[in-house]
């Protein structure tokens, strides 16, 4: 039975493979329609990111964007992505101020980069209390590993590495490897 199903479904699988360029072109057009910037033809999209808010998103060239991305800009927030950046599956980037990602950086699966926190502590429900935002800057050639959380006001220097599942609460100097909760330096990066 299984063999018969495989024989019957094989032509459909070939059709899906043949239509892949069309699906990617549709994702490209859909994404470009949702943002204020443009999407260069060199950008490879596995699927159109989920975009919310103002659409203040600026993209470089030769990006590789995986499926399941969530990009949100609110108030005066903006997201700027440099050239040759890879953003992996399930990454969330939310900006109320400004988030910049430098050239040649890589962001691992399910990372969360958010430049704002909800206000709390008054009689106003947290949902209605507004946000406090501080810009985030990720330098060039930075490797943000899987599951990392980057909090408001952080600057990550060029050539830094942030270990898997770290929570970055403070600036990371250039050429440094950090890991942990909160992220702390492990060592200076060894030159190649």
Do 111 and 91 contact (CB within 8 A), yes or no?
A: yes
Query: What is the C-alpha separation between 61 and 77, in angstroms, rounded?
Result: 21
Nearest to 142 by CA among 86, 93, 73: 86
Cis, bond preceding 182 (omega within 30 deg of 0) = yes
Nearest to 95 by CA among 52, 43, 60: 52
76 is catalytic: no
Instruction: Compute CA 143 distance to the chain's CA centroid, rounded to the nearest angstrom.
Output: 12
71 in helix, strand or coil? strand
Nearest to 177 by CA among 155, 162, 192, 158: 162
113 in helix, strand or coil? strand
Q: Annotated catalytic residue: which of 52, 92, 118, 131?
A: 118
Residues marked as catalytic: 118
């Amino acid at each position: 039975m299984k063999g018969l199903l495989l024989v019957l479904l094989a032509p459909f699988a070939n059709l899906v493979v043949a239509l892949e360029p069309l699906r990617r072109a549709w994702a490209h057009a859909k994404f470009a329609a949702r943002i204020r910037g443009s999407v260069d033809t060199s950008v490879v999209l596995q699927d159109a990111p989920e975009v919310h808010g103002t659409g203040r998103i600026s993209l470089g060239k030769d990006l590789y964007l995986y499926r399941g991305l969530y990009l949100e800009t609110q108030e005066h927030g903006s997201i700027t992505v440099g050239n040759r950046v890879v953003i992996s599956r399930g990454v969330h980037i939310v900006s109320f101020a400004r988030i910049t990602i430098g050239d040649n950086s890589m962001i691992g699966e399910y990372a969360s980069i958010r430049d704002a926190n909800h206000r709390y502590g008054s009689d106003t429900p947290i949902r209605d209390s507004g946000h406090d935002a501080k810009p985030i800057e990720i330098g060039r050639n930075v490797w943000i590993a899987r599951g990392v959380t980057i909090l408001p006001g952080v600057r990550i220097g060029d050539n830094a590495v942030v270990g898997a599942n770290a929570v970055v609460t403070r600036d990371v100097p250039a050429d440094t490897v950090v890991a942990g909760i909160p992220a702390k330096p492990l060592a200076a990066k060894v030159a190649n």
